[in-house]
Every structure is written in structure tokens, then in C-alpha cells.
Structure 1
Amino acid sequence: MTVISFDGVSKGFPAARRGPAVAALEDVDLRVERGSIVGVIGYSGAGKSTLVRLVNGLEKPTAGLVEVLGVDVGSASATELRGLRGRIGMIFQQFNLFNSRTVRGNVAYPLKVAGWRRQDIGPRVAELLDFVGIGDKAHSYPRALSGGQKQRVGIARAIAANPELLLADEATSALDPQTTGEVLALLREINRTLGITIVVITHQISVVHELCDQVIVMDGGKVVDSGDTYRVFAHPRAALTERFVAAVTQGVPSAETLRALLVGGGALISVDVNEFTSEHVAEVFETHGVRHTVVFGGVTDIRGSQLGTLTYRIHAEDAVLASVVAELSAHTRAQLLRASDAPSGAEGVQS
């Protein structure tokens, strides 16, 4: 079931001082299916924040159709939009906690707004705080908490009223890497055990890499790439996607690195590794009796499948090298990198 759909959606804002209207989104099409974890990624100004405001009904589209949980955001009344927001939880980058309220008070607040009975709020808050791992902090105030603990409070508050959809807007940007990993693990657990659909708005490709089933890449108010996370990483369709992917996978060595590697002798071969070829590469080397050592690159795990690029130092006759490259190239991208292919200042890559 589709819980969010954008069909030809554009959103413009009036420019200051009589300038032309600013197009925050242009002709956006996207789908988010129930129970999935979807990452929306892009740099500042890509349109991510505007997209979030359309999803939770804080803005209406200039053109196109936005449907969220069955509600047509563009034509919905104020009452219908309030009802929609009650079905959506929000997690914020800067936590947005009430400093004058305890942890318990912060988590209880949306339940009071939703009209929960007082006798039901206490047990629900205790349950939520235990679930997010801060049951011992119920009577603490936000100023006494670490960033990770504050975000756990924010998450507990966001899921308190049993939302169908959870929006995480740069939820890990203010956290250190270890705490980020803990928060992402908690979001995965929420999705798995509670079945809540999660949309993560981020500029961090590592978040998409570790958490998301699907990814939507935005640039200049447009969707430039989208689909299954592994597909997007393994076969990027936009230059921006390639730049994001390069941040978590090491590709072909640069010209400077290549020249340094070639000092060690032999030839270098760079091979793309994916779920289809990770075992096949080793078999090709063994079949041809080629001695090989990995000297550059890396392989990462994406949703249980391998992806990366490895550069090997190999020692073999030219004819054997040609056969190895030809056989590998039938299954994946393979590049033979040698001294003659790396003149000073050049990239040093020979297909």
C-alpha cells in the first residue's frame, strides 16, 4: 500500500523584492510504500525541507497531487490536515524538547494533546522510555541529557501516539558517529517491531547506506535518482548519486595514488565488486594462476549485499593479464592500470 505519493508536484515561493518566484520543487514524482524505510537525500537547497512540509501538510503544492495516508494535501481542509498530522510522528535535528519539562513530561505531551486518559498516559510513557533505552531518565530534564539521550526522548515522543508514518528530519546530523549508529539501530527496531513507515531526510549518505530500503536523491528541487538502495548505489543514474556513493565506497585510485602504487611493481587491476561477482573475481584469478594482492579500495555491505571496488596488484604475462581482464569484463567493470597508462598529471586509468 502506498502511504505517500507525489504526482507531478511543484512548489514555488514568492521571491523577495519583486523577483521571480522561487521553485523549491519541480515536477516531483515519488512513492513510499507502507512498512518501508525510505531515505530522501540531497545537499542544502535540494528541496528536502519543502518535501517534508508537503508531507505533513504545512504547505500545499503549487501544482500536482500530494497524497499522504489517503489524504489529498492540496485540497484538504484545516481540520483534515490536523487529523493527518496526528497520524505522523516527527523527529528533529535539534530535538525540539521542552526544557521546562522532564523526560516523562516531554513524552507525555503529545498523548495529552491527543486526548489520552491520564491513567493511560503513565504506563504508556514508561513503556516508551524502556523501549528507547532511557527508562532511568524519566525524571531528568533535557539539560542533564547527552545528545543521544535527547534524541531518544524525541523518538519516544514521536511514536507515543502510535503514528502510521514517522518523518526523521536530519535526525542524526547533530550526533557523533557512535551515537548515530545507535539511533539508526533504534529506528530499524521501530520499523521492524511496530511496522511504522519511516522517511529519513538527510544529507548523510552513510545514514541511507546503513538504514534505508529505498532512496530518493534530490538536486535543485528535482528527483534525479530513486529506487532500491542497492540498485542506486551499484548503478547510479546521476552525477550527484555517484558523488554520494563515492563517500562510502572507495573507487579507482587517483592519479597520484596510482603512481605511488605502481612503484611496487607488477600491474594493477581495478575491479567492481557486487553481489554477483564477489566470488567470481577470486575464481578468475585462481583459474589463470595469477598471484594477486589487494592494494586499494574497499567493499561495503548494503542491505546484505556486497558493493565496492578493489584494486589488485597482479604478476603475470601480458597475454594472461588480457585474458583475465576480458573474462572479468564480461561480468563487471574491470580496468587494467599500468605505468604506461599513468603519465604525469593524468588519471592513469585504462579500460
Structure 2
Amino acid sequence: MTIITFNRVSKGFPPTRRGSAVSALEEVDLQVERGSIVGVIGYSGAGKSTLVRLVNGLEKPTAGTVEVLGVDVGKASANDLRGLRGRIGMIFQQFNLFNSRTVRGNVAYPLKVAGWKKQDIGPRVAELLDFVGIGDKAHSYPRALSGGQKQRVGIARAIAANPELLLADEATSALDPQTTGEVLALLKEINRTLGITIVVITHQISVVHELCDQVIVMDGGKVVDSGDTYRVFAHPRAALTERFVAAVTQGIPAGDTLDALLVAGGDLISADVNEFTSEHIAQVFDRHGVRHTVVFGGVTDIRGRQLGTLTYRVHAEAAVLASVVAELQEHTRAQILQPGPAASDQRSEVAS
């Protein structure tokens, strides 16, 4: 069941005294299915924050239609939008906790706003704090918490009133890698056990790799790639998607790096790792009796599946190498890397 639909959505902002008019989104089409975890990734200025404000009804589209949980955001009344926001939880980059309230008070706040009975709030808060792993911090104040603990409070508060949809806006950007992993694991558990649909706004490809079923890649206010997370990154349709992948996997060596690798001897074969894994590539080399060593590249993990590019140093006759590459190309992108002019000169000197 689809719970978020953008149909040819554009959003513009009028000129100000300091600047011209801004087109934040241009004819965006997207869908989010109930129970999924969807990542929206892009660099600063891509339109991610505007998209979030349209989903939770803080902005209305300039053109097109935005439907969230059955509510047409563009046509909804102020009262209908308040009701919609009550069905959506928000997790923020900077936590947005009340410093004057205890952890318990922060988590209890949305329950009070939602009209929960006083006798029901206490048990619900205790349940939530235990669920996110900070049951012993109920009477602490935010200033006494680490960044990861603050975000756990933020998550408990976001799910307190049993939302149908959770929006996480750069929720891990202020956290160290270990804490980021812990928060992502918690979000997975929320999705798995509570069935809450999660939309993650991020510029961190590692977050999408680890957490998301689906991904939407944004650039300049447009959706440039979208679909199953593994498909999008294993077979990118946009230059920006390729740059995200290369940032994690290093890609194919070029320039001085390639020249230095070639001067060291042997030949270089580069191969993409995807459904055809690094183990499969090694088996091809072995079948042809070719010694091989990984000298460049990287492989990342997308929800248990390999993705990357590896460059191998090999030692074999030209005909054998051609056979190896031909077999690899039946399954994935592969090539023998050629030296630039500088490397060719250096190899000649080494050979002489």
C-alpha cells in the first residue's frame, strides 16, 4: 500500500530582498510503500529538506499533488494538516530536546499534546525508554547525555504516540561511526517490530547502504535515480549515483595512481563487483591459472550484498588475459587498464 505519493511536484519560493526566486523541487515523482525504509540522498541544495516539509505539511506544493497517509497536502485545511502531523514522527539532526525537561519529560511531552491520560503516560514512557536502551536515564537532563543517548531520546519521543510514518532528517550526521551504527540498528528494529514506515533524509551513502530497502537520489531539485537500493547503486542511471558509489568503493585507478601501479609490473584488470561477487571473479582467474592480487579498489556491503570495483595485478600471457577478460565481461564490467604516456616511458626504462 502506497502511503506517500508525489505526482509531478514542484516547489518554488519567491524572491527576497537579498536574492532571486528559488526553484527547490522540479516535477518530482515518487512513491513510498507502507512498511518500507526509504532513503532520500543528495548533496546540500538537492531539495531534500523541502521534500520533508512537503511530507509533513509544513509547505504546500507550487504545482502537482502530494498525498501523505491519504491526505492531499495541497488542499488540506490547517486542521487536517495538524491531524496529519500527529500521525508522523520526526527525528532531527540536532535532537531538538527540551533542555529544561528530563528525559522522561521530553518523551512524555508528545503524549500530553496528544491528550493521553496521565495514568497511561508513565508506563508508556518507561516502555519506550527501555525499548531504545536508556531506561536508566529517565531522570537525567539532556546536558548529561552523550550524542547517541540524546538521539535515542529523540527516537523514543518520535515514536511515542504510535505514528504510522517516521521521518529521520540527517539523524546520524552529528554522530560518530559507532553510534551511527547503533542508531541505524535501532531504526531497523523499529521498522521490524512496530511496522513503522521510515523515510531517511541523508547525504551519507553508508546510511542508505546499511538501512534502506529503497533509495531516491536527488540532484538540483530533481529525482535523478530511484528504486531498489542495490539496483540503484549496482547499476546507476545517473552521474551523481556513480559519484556516490565511487566515493565508497574508490572505483578504477586513474592518473598518477594508475601509473604507479603499472610501473610495479604485471598487468592490471579492473572488474565491477555486484551480483557477480569477488568470489566469482577469483574463480575465473583460477580456472585460467592466472595469479592475481588485489591492488586497488574497495567493496561495500548493501544489506548483505557486495558492491564495488576491484583492480587486480595479474601475470599471464596476452592471450590468456584476453580470455579472462572475455569471460568476466559475460557477467560484469571488466577491462585491462592501459598506461598513460608517462607510465609507458617509465615501464620502458624499468625493462631496459
Q: TM-score, normalised by structure 2?
A: 0.95
1:90 aligned partner: 90
2:37–2:200 contact (8 Å) kept in structure 1: yes
Matched, 1:323 2:323: yes
- Quote how far apart the aligned CAs of 1:18 are: 9.2
- Quote how far apart the aligned CAs of 1:335 are: 1.3
1:294 aligned partner: 294
2:105 aligned partner: 105
Gaps of 5+ in 1: 347-351
1:233 aligned partner: 233
**Cα separation, 1, equivalents of 2:103 and 2:259:** 57
- Quote how far apart the aligned CAs of 1:235 are: 1.1
**Cα separation, 1, equivalents of 2:245 and 2:290:** 30
**Cα separation, 2, equivalents of 1:125 and 1:18:** 46
2:342 aligned partner: 344
**What is the identity, as a one-letter code, of the residue corresponding to 2:275?**
E
Is the partner of 1:139 in helix, strand or coil? coil
**What is the identity, as a one-letter code, of the residue corresponding to 1:12?**
G
- Alpha-carbon displacement from aligned partner over 1:114-142 (angstroms, at most 9, x marks no partner): 01111110000000001101000000000
Q: Using the aligned pairs only, state the percent identity.
A: 88
1:277–1:331 contact (8 Å) kept in structure 2: no
2:218–2:225 contact (8 Å) kept in structure 1: yes
Matches within 5 A, 1:74-153: 74-153=74-153
Is the partner of 1:319 in helix, strand or coil? helix
**What is the identity, as a one-letter code, of the residue corresponding to 1:216?**
I
2:46–2:220 contact (8 Å) kept in structure 1: yes
**What is the identity, as a one-letter code, of the residue corresponding to 1:257?**
T
Is the partner of 1:171 in helix, strand or coil? coil
**Cα separation, 1, equivalents of 2:343 and 2:150:** 49
Note closer, same or farther for the CA distance 1:20–1:35 as it changes in structure 2 (3 Å cut). same
Note closer, same or farther for the CA distance 1:255–1:18 as it changes in structure 2 (3 Å cut). closer
1:259 aligned partner: 259
Bigger shift: residues 142-151 or 274-283 = 274-283
Is the partner of 2:281 in helix, strand or coil? helix
1:280 aligned partner: 280
1:255–1:345 contact (8 Å) kept in structure 2: no
- Quote how far apart the aligned CAs of 1:276 are: 2.9
Is the partner of 2:248 in helix, strand or coil? coil
1:220 aligned partner: 220
**How large is the RMSD of aligned CA atoms in angstroms?**
1.4
Gaps of 5+ in 2: 345-352
**Cα separation, 2, equivalents of 1:203 and 1:50:** 14
**Cα separation, 1, equivalents of 2:283 and 2:154:** 50
2:333 aligned partner: 333
**Cα separation, 2, equivalents of 1:146 and 1:318:** 58
**Cα separation, 2, equivalents of 1:263 and 1:118:** 74
Q: TM-score, normalised by structure 1?
A: 0.95
Note closer, same or farther for the CA distance 1:242–1:345 as it changes in structure 2 (3 Å cut). farther
- Quote how far apart the aligned CAs of 1:19 are: 6.5
**What is the identity, as a one-letter code, of the residue corresponding to 2:60?**
K
Matched, 1:159 2:159: yes
1:216–1:223 contact (8 Å) kept in structure 2: yes
**What is the identity, as a one-letter code, of the residue corresponding to 1:86?**
G
- Alpha-carbon displacement from aligned partner over 1:97-121 (angstroms, at most 9, x marks no partner): 0000000000000000001111110
- Alpha-carbon displacement from aligned partner over 1:226-275 (angstroms, at most 9, x marks no partner): 11110111111111111111122121112211222223311111111112
- Alpha-carbon displacement from aligned partner over 1:8-33 (angstroms, at most 9, x marks no partner): 00111111139653211110000000
**What is the identity, as a one-letter code, of the residue corresponding to 1:159?**
I
1:293–1:312 contact (8 Å) kept in structure 2: yes
